[in-house]
């Protein structure tokens, strides 16, 4: 955030505003008085000429100068107002912008079920249940903790590496984990506490290579139930 207009810059703008307005008023008074005083018998015409010529000139000059010096403050105020209306300023708590657990689709493992045994075709089918199809799918254990996130691009790339397509792929998540490259991709997820701020979630995402997903848990633990989900596209809205 900016310094909210505190410091020497504000003092300078205030001094300029008072000086320019004061000098303009004095200029109008002096010029008008001199012109009218020397007009003699043509004071009426001179007065009209003075006010029709001098006032617009000085008014335009004052408005231009003041607008220049106050433009940055106005832009800052407008930006902050827009962010507040969108609810996306970086100080916003994550629980105000996250995708809530009840609103996202995941592949949920049963009690005692291992993710290693899950067929990748089942992952693809789960993605297809959404309209349009989901482009990423969290894999959760029976406690609701997120173990992996599989993106459709990762699934497609893995199928091609096996000489197959996503529709015919006969491999499991366990098979994918045997490849260090693909293991790194599906494990590239972050976690923050439900009390965290949006800027903290973004910092976590940036700190993890290839991370595009951050999950909100009660205390920020990886083994805790995911209460919410922050994707890279969602967090891009706060930049």
CATH number at residue 168: 3.10.580.10
Six-digit token string for 19: 């000086």
- Please give the tally of structural domains in the chain: 2
Q: Provide the greatest CA pair distance for the chain.
A: 107
Point out the domain boundary residue: 55, 86, 117. Answer: 86
pTM (predicted TM-score) = 0.63
| Residues 144 and 191 sit within 8 Å (Cβ to Cβ) | no
Mean pLDDT of 27-41: 71
* 209 located within any domain: yes
Shared domain check, 161 and 66: no
Six-digit token string for 164: 């197959």
Residue-level pLDDT at 81: 61
pLDDT tens-digit series, residues 134-149: 889 999 999 999 999 9
Determine the 3-state secondary structure of 9 from DSSP: helix
Q: Which residues contact 154 (CB under 8 A, 6 or more apart)?
A: 182, 185, 186
Mean pLDDT of 161-184: 94
The whole-angstrom separation of Cα 143 and Cα 221 is 13
Shared domain check, 185 and 137: yes
Shared domain check, 209 and 140: yes
The whole-angstrom separation of Cα 76 and Cα 72 is 6
Q: Give residue for tokens 């599906």.
A: 186
Shared domain check, 126 and 99: yes
Residue 91 CA from chain centroid, whole number: 11
**Is it the case that residue 226 has pLDDT exceeding 70?**
yes
Residue-level pLDDT at 70: 63
Six-digit token string for 197: 């701020």
* 1 located within any domain: no
Q: Which residues contact 194 (CB under 8 A, 6 or more apart)?
A: 94, 95, 216, 217, 218, 227, 228
Q: Which residues contact 106 (CB under 8 A, 6 or more apart)?
A: 137, 138, 139, 140, 146
Euclidean distance between the first and the last CA atom of the chain, given in angstroms as a whole number: 12
**Is it the case that residue 36 has pLDDT exceeding 90?**
no
Residue-level pLDDT at 13: 66
Shared domain check, 135 and 192: yes
Q: Is the peptide bond before 114 cis (omega within 30 degrees of 0)?
A: no
User: Which range marks the domain in which residue 140 is found?
Assistant: 94-238
Name 119's bridge partners.
Answer: 172
**Is it the case that residue 216 has pLDDT exceeding 90?**
yes
* 108 located within any domain: yes
Point out the domain boundary residue: 63, 86, 109. Answer: 86
Residue-level pLDDT at 221: 96
Six-digit token string for 169: 């792929």
Shared domain check, 66 and 20: yes
Point out the domain boundary residue: 61, 86, 111. Answer: 86
Q: Could you say which DSSP state residue 145 is in? A: -
Shared domain check, 37 and 98: no
Phi, psi of 46 (to 5 degrees): -65, -40
Q: How far is CA 140 from CA 75, 129, 137, 176, in A?
A: 44, 17, 10, 17
The whole-angstrom separation of Cα 183 and Cα 103 is 26
């Amino acid at each position: 955030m900016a310094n909210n207009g505190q410091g020497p810059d504000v003092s300078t703008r205030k001094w300029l505003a008072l000086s320019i307005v004061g000098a303009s008023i004095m200029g109008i008074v002096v010029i008008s008085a001199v012109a009218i005083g020397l007009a003699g018998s043509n004071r009426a015409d001179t007065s009209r000429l003075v006010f029709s010529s001098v006032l617009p000139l000085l008014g335009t000059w004052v408005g231009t100068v003041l607008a220049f010096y106050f433009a940055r403050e106005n832009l800052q105020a407008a930006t902050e107002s827009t962010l507040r209306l969108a609810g996306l300023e970086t100080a916003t708590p994550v629980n105000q912008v996250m995708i809530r657990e009840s609103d996202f689709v995941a592949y949920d493992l049963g009690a005692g079920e291992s993710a290693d045994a899950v067929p990748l075709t089942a992952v693809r089918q789960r993605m297809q249940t959404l309209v349009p199809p989901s482009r990423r799918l969290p894999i959760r254990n029976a406690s609701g903790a997120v173990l992996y996130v599989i993106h459709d691009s990762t699934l497609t790339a893995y199928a091609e590496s096996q000489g197959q397509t996503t529709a015919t792929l006969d491999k499991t998540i366990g098979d994918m984990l045997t490849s260090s490259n693909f293991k790194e991709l599906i494990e590239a997820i972050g976690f923050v506490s439900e009390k965290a701020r949006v800027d903290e979630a973004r910092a976590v995402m940036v700190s993890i290579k290839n991370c595009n997903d951050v999950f909100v848990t009660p205390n920020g633990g990886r083994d805790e139930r995911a209460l919410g989900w922050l994707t890279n596209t969602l967090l891009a809205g706060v930049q």
